[in-house]
Amino acid sequence: MSNSSPAAEPQLNATPLIDVLLVLLVLVIFTLPVMTHNVGVTLPQDGHHGDRPETIFLDIDFDGAILWNGSPVESIEVLERRLKAEQFKVPAPTVTVRPDLRAPYGYAAQVLAATQRAHVSKLTIQQVADR
């Protein structure tokens, strides 16, 4: 007895393979914009590696008096002018604002607004427990 029917040939089911490829394609489409997101970073310029920037301490007393490295500043306008003049130094000085814990927030907000208007590039804020 001879079997005249040919042997069954195996067939590849491509549907699961296509499903996996489509899922991978969707993942690549969603993650690609995250990977190519550009973050701007300002790096230090050459030639000033050894120079340490000056630190300006702006103390704010509980009564609103502003002290520039220990000496009083007459007004916010004078503070802003002095800060603008300091920003032309290379490297630009670091401005450290140190408000008294008893000072109302409004005094610190005025000083911070003056530093923003003066385009201070290096600003730190310290909390001082006792002076």
Query: Is pLDDT at 88 greater than 90 in this prediction?
Result: no
Domain 55-125 part of CATH 3.40.50.300 = no
- Kindly report whether the global pTM for this prediction surpasses the value 0.85: no
pLDDT in tens, 33-76: 766 666 677 776 665 556 677 899 999 998 989 999 989 999 99
- Return the percentage of the chain with pLDDT > 70, whole number: 83
Query: What's the CA dihedral at 101, 103, 109, 110 to 10 degrees?
Result: -140
- The domain segmentation of the chain, as residue ranges, is 55-125
